């Protein structure tokens, strides 16, 4: 069973698929502990917060409530909502705490494409067709290490930065855990800070990397 925190349709605001209409499936649970995380309500999976699946759609704000759902139930809930997007983003929390093979295969069989957004600290269990975005979380309070197999599986590296030391840390990680040829590397300024944005732009120009600006935050949408 998957612990689902949220299911909604919006525009993807980050990374390679910025601007694409997307269905976001947010899963509950994450032990990584990123200090700047904007979904801290998904960290803990408390039994007292469990609700019925139909209550997820009625959410009007962030909350730690979650529903236990099978892969088929997730697909049925997507179809019941009449969403028109065909790009499903599986995020969290940390979605790779779950085996996502069955869910992603089911979604592909029914005409969807899938993307996973992960910290790279858990084994990635998903369909070979899934686009994997690794946002490597280094030296976080949870103490989890970024996995070499996660970096090797990534189609896209999306790295949040505020200072040069964050770029240096990414360089060291890429040296230690190489990515496949053709993997897109995106730099994402933390909290839209002007200096972080300037540094990201400058580095992307020099290295032919890609800028990710969290479009949804500039547009004030979910």
Is 93 among the annotated ligand-binding positions? Answer: yes
* CATH number assigned to the domain comprising residue 37: 3.20.20.70
User: pLDDT value at position 36?
Assistant: 78
The 10s digit of each residue's pLDDT in 141-153 is: 888 999 999 999 9
- Establish whether 64 is an annotated binding residue: no
Confirm or deny that 68 is annotated as ligand binding. Answer: no
User: Which pLDDT belongs to residue 216?
Assistant: 61
Going through the chain in order, the beta strands assigned E by DSSP cover 2-11, 21-27, 67-69, 87-91, 113-118, 131-134, 156-161, 184-189, 210-211
Higher pLDDT, 97 or 137: 97
d(C-alpha 24, C-alpha 10), whole Å: 7
Give the pLDDT score at 29: 97
pLDDT at 192: 67
In total, how many domains does the chain have? Answer: 1
DSSP secondary structure, 59-75, as one string: --S--S-BEEE-HHHHH
> Is 15 annotated in some ligand binding site?
no
- Ranking 106-120, 171-185, 203-217 by mean pLDDT, the lowest is 203-217
Q: Is 204 annotated as a binding residue?
A: no
pLDDT digits (tens, 9 = 90+) for 44-92: 999 999 999 988 888 888 999 999 999 999 999 999 999 999 999 999 9
Closest by CA position to 124, among listed 144, 145, 94 = 94
pLDDT digits (tens, 9 = 90+) for 175-204: 999 999 999 999 999 866 789 899 999 999
Identify the weakest region by mean pLDDT among 7-11, 55-59, 158-162, 204-208. Answer: 55-59
Q: Is 113 annotated as a binding residue?
A: no
Confidence of residue 138 (pLDDT cuts 50, 70, 90): confident
pLDDT at 143: 87
Q: Average the pLDDT over 101-128 and give the result.
A: 98
> Can you give the pTM of this predicted structure?
0.93
Please indicate if the annotation marks 160 as binding a ligand: no
The reply to whether 177 sits in an annotated binding site is no
Residue 102: pLDDT band (50, 70, 90) is very high
Res. 221: pLDDT tops 80: no
Question: Could you give the percent of the chain with pLDDT greater than 70?
Answer: 95
Confidence of residue 218 (pLDDT cuts 50, 70, 90): low
Residue 206 annotated in ligand binding = no
Q: Which domain holds residue 202?
A: 2-219
Q: Is 137 annotated as a binding residue?
A: yes
Q: Is 10 annotated as a binding residue?
A: no
The sign one gets for the Cα dihedral 77, 78, 79, 81 is: positive
Residue 118, annotated ligand binder? no
């Amino acid at each position: 069973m998957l612990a689902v925190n949220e299911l909604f349709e919006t525009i993807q605001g980050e990374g390679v698929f910025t601007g694409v209409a997307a269905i976001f499936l947010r899963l509950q649970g994450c032990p990584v502990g990123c200090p700047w995380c904007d979904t801290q309500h998904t960290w803990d999976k408390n039994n007292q917060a469990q609700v019925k699946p139909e209550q997820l759609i009625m959410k009007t704000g962030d909350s730690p409530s979650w529903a236990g759902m099978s892969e088929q139930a997730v697909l049925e809930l997507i179809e019941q909502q009449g969403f028109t997007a065909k790009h499903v983003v599986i995020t969290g929390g940390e979605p790779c705490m779950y085996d996502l093979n069955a869910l992603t295969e089911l979604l592909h069989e029914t005409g969807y494409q899938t993307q996973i957004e992960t910290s790279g600290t858990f084994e990635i269990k998903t369909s070979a067709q899934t686009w994997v975005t690794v946002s490597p979380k280094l030296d976080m309070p949870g103490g989890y290490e970024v996995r070499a197999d996660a970096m090797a599986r990534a189609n896209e590296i999306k790295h949040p930065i505020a200072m040069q030391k964050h770029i240096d840390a990414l360089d060291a990680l890429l040296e230690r855990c190489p990515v496949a040829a053709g993997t897109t590397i995106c730099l994402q300024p933390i909290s839209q800070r002007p200096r972080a944005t300037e540094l990201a732009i400058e580095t992307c120009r020099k290295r032919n990397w890609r800028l990710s600006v969290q479009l949804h935050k500039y547009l004030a949408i979910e």
